[in-house]
Amino acid sequence: MTHIRLLFGNRIKKHYAGLVSYDINTVNSEGARCLRNVSKICLDYGQRVQFSVFECEVDPTQWVFLKDKLLSNIDFKEDKTTLCWF
């Protein structure tokens, strides 16, 4: 795994933090399936801090993969998600 290093004062930062939150409509079975899939994807990259909020320590490449996986599983007409990377 390759890490991009950025200087912050006297410290080198080797990883970045990502925050993922979502609100999935679970009225039907398709929504329940989506909720399980999104949760599993987030658990692959980070840890749960609330039911639908995850903190992820990822490098830029991992963030792109995480974002692409999430966006391919979410129905934007029914569901909401917030992705923050810093």
For each successive 10 residues of the chain (86 residues), what is the average pLDDT? Answer: 42 74 94 96 96 93 94 91 89
The helices-and-strands tally (H runs, E runs) of the chain is: 2, 6
Structure confidence at residue 15 (pLDDT): 67
Work out whether the CA dihedral 76, 48, 32, 59 comes out positive or negative: positive
Does this model's pTM top 0.85? no
**Contact by Cβ (8 Å): 34, 74:** yes
The CATH code belonging to domain 6-85 is 3.30.70.240
| Domain-wise residue ranges, the chain | 6-85
